[in-house]
Each structure stands twice: as structure tokens, then as C-alpha cells.
Amino acid sequence: MNRISKRILVALSLLVVARLFFGSTPVFAHCDTMNGPVVKAARRALEAGNVNLVLIWVQKKDEAEITEAFKKTLVTRKLSPEAKQLADMYFFETLVRIHRAGEGAPYTGLKPADVEPEPGIAAADKAIETGSGEALVKDLTETIHHGIHERFMEVMAKKNFKPDDVKAGREYVKSYVTFVHYVEGLYQAATKPAEGHAHESESVGLHEEKH
């Protein structure tokens, strides 16, 4: 890509990664899955008998409700294997529901463990698990490079249309709008603070605005 500096793309991707790691609120679009971070924390809390391990996932005003549900779950799960399974699920659902409500996100039930998170979320989680963001930066840089290059080349291929060719002009405008909004989305993702679930419906910086 001769007209777009790779250094700029690397810098932009680093900004996006920085927002993922240092934004004001963690972005977990898979917090309502059985293998998500909230349920994993709930499992650890129940096995340890320590409710503090899950209170970090809810707001202070919801601590009492979660603590009460936790106590009931600990008592019920001792009755039988079947009771344990039902009690645990009750607690998982209660915790995730309240967590999402605190973030302003709807709760539509727990998703199965085999539901895969979006690639960006999986990569971010992997970086946190390994303690290194190098692979994440590399993958994100390549994704951004490919995304910009593909759209940029399409715009340039349609740019020099004949003045009287309205159809070709509209095709250029369509490609132009797609390219500009793609880049705009990248810059917005790089400069705006993360807002948790409010942005779960968007792939951070990589979505396209439809017109």
C-alpha cells in the first residue's frame, strides 16, 4: 500500500489495543456465556465459599442481592448432585443478569459454553491470560492493514470515472463512503474510552456504517 504508511497503521492499531486494555470499563461481549469470565468467577467463588470473588462483577448497590443468592446457593447445593446443579445455575443466571443490568445491557439467558466470542474478544482474553499483548497487536495490525488496503484500492479503482457516467459515479461514491466510515470507525475506537456493554453490538473499530 504505497499511499498509506504502515507506520500509521501500526500506531493506530496500538491505540485501539490501548483502549482495550486501559479503557474505563472492561469490554466482555461474552459475559453471558457458560465459559465467560463472569460464570468462571462464580464457579471459583462457589468452590471457595467466598462471595468476594464475584462481587467485583456487580455494582456496590447490588452486593446485598448477590450475597443473599450466594448464601442460598451454598446451602442448596449440599442437598444432592441434582440440587447442586440447579442451585449453581440459579446463581450463574442471577449473577450474569445483575452484572449486565449494571452495565446497561439486556439479559437474554446464559449461552452455551461452545458459543465462540468474536475474534477480537478472544484475542484480547488470550493476551490477558498470557500476559503479553504482542500477538494481539500483530493480529490487529494485520487486520487493519488488510481492511484499509482492500477498501482503499476499491476507491482508487473507481475514482477516475467519466463526468457523464452517473452510474460509475455512484459506484465511486458508494466505495468512498464505505472507506471513509471504515477509517472513521478506527479513529473513533482509538480515541474514545471503552464503555463496556454499550458497544457490544459493534466490532471495535472494524464495523462499517451502512447507508
Tell me, what's the pLDDT at 3? 47
Residues 19 and 189: beta-carbon distance below 8 Å: yes
Tell me, what's the pLDDT at 137? 84
Residues 20 and 194: beta-carbon distance below 8 Å: yes
Tell me, what's the pLDDT at 2? 47
Tell me, what's the pLDDT at 205? 39
Tell me, what's the pLDDT at 200? 44
Residue reference for cell 442437598: 79
Domain residue ranges in the chain: 6-23+131-199, 37-102
The 3-class secondary structure across 47-87, one letter per residue, is HHCCCHHHHCCCCHHHHHHHHHHHHHHHHHCCCCHHHHHHH
If you write DSSP's letter for every residue of 179-207 in order, what string do you get? HHHHHHHHHHHHHSPP-GGGGTTS-TTT-
Residues 167 and 195: beta-carbon distance below 8 Å: no
pLDDT in tens, the chain (211 residues): 444 445 544 555 544 444 444 443 344 457 888 888 899 999 999 999 999 999 999 999 999 999 999 999 999 999 999 999 999 999 999 999 999 999 888 888 888 767 666 666 777 777 887 888 888 888 888 888 999 999 999 999 999 999 999 999 999 999 999 999 999 988 888 777 655 554 444 433 333 444 4
CA distance 48 to 140: 37
Q: Provide the greatest CA pair distance for the chain.
A: 80
How many Cβ atoms from other residues are within 10 Å of residue 160's Cβ? 8
